[in-house]
Amino acid sequence: MKIEVNSLTFGYEKKMLFNQLNFSFLQGKTYALVGKSGNGKSTLLNLLKGFEQPQQGSIRYEETTTNKIELIFQELLLFDWQTVEQAIELPLLISNVEKKKRKEKIATLLTEFHLEELANRFPNQLSGGQKQRVAMARGLITNPDFLLLDEPTSSLDQETKEDVQSFILEEQKKRENTLIVVTHDIEEAAYLGETILLLENQTLSVYENPTFALENRRETLEFYEFCIQLRMAIRGGTHEN
């Protein structure tokens, strides 16, 4: 199972974003997509999901489809008039899943995401971290092969951000799906990404994360050394793989 990007070219009237881009997103891996603002990181997620189409080249889906890809936007798109339970149920309603199965799936996700006591609350009654967990539950209730996250923790304080990052990674390991995260946060990229993809000069530079398997890596010198290397790469410095 994979998404294969072949010679992808895409841009807007005044700016070319990708030129002959090639990469394969593999099953069960985690990818962090970084780069300067305006380089097309969110656009690439839209292309992978099928919201945009390549102008040249192709995106090939092997043993998966765009229907098995979920994209969670930075804004989360939780509706003011929907309770937590209703928000999580929405993808199942769209897919015409029968009521009994919907209720079973919702109950499971509410428990797994520690949202049982919040089931009847509305978005304005939730904290930032709680809203993120609701959006994650909604995105995962259909058991997608690929989960795409656009700036998942940008509006959170540091402590909540780290909790959510740990939660995201725990869910990915449990489900063994593929995670692709767009972020401007270098530490978040180094924590969530087994592979770091730097979008620059209309293509991708690939950096394997040497700290990904370390225990308690936020407390290691190696983790922060790698963060410095990534930051230098984005700023146009040097990086050694």
pTM score: 0.90
What's the pLDDT tens digit per position in 91-111?
A: 888 888 899 999 998 998 898
CA-closest candidate to residue 147, choices 166, 173, 127: 173
Dump pLDDT digits (tens) for 24-39.
Answer: 999 999 999 998 888 8
Q: What are 44-93's pLDDT values in tens digits?
A: 999 999 999 999 999 999 999 999 999 988 777 788 899 999 999 988 88
Tell me how many helices (H) and strands (E) the chain has. 7, 9
Angle at 54 between CA 48 and CA 58, to 5 degrees: 75
Domains belonging to the chain, first-starting first, are 2-76+146-234 (3.40.50.300)
**Cα-trace Rg, the chain:** 18
Q: Return the pLDDT at 139.
A: 87
176-199 pLDDT, tens digit per residue, is 999 999 999 999 999 999 999 999
What is the arithmetic mean of pLDDT over 108-131? 89
Rounded to whole angstroms, the Cα distance separating 160 from 163 reads 5
Q: Angle CA(219)–CA(223)–CA(225) in degrees, nearest 5?
A: 125
Both tokens of 77, joined, read: 């798109």
Q: Strand 195-200 to strand 30-34: parallel, antiparallel, or no bridges (unpaired)?
A: parallel
Nearest CA among 68, 8, 2, 56 for reference residue 31: 2
Alpha-carbon gap, residue 2 to 65, rounded angstroms: 10
Question: So what's the pLDDT on residue 209?
Answer: 95
Q: How many CA atoms lie within 13 A of 51 on its CB side?
A: 12
pLDDT tens for 138-177 read: 888 888 999 999 988 887 888 888 888 988 898 899 889 9
pLDDT for res 241? 42
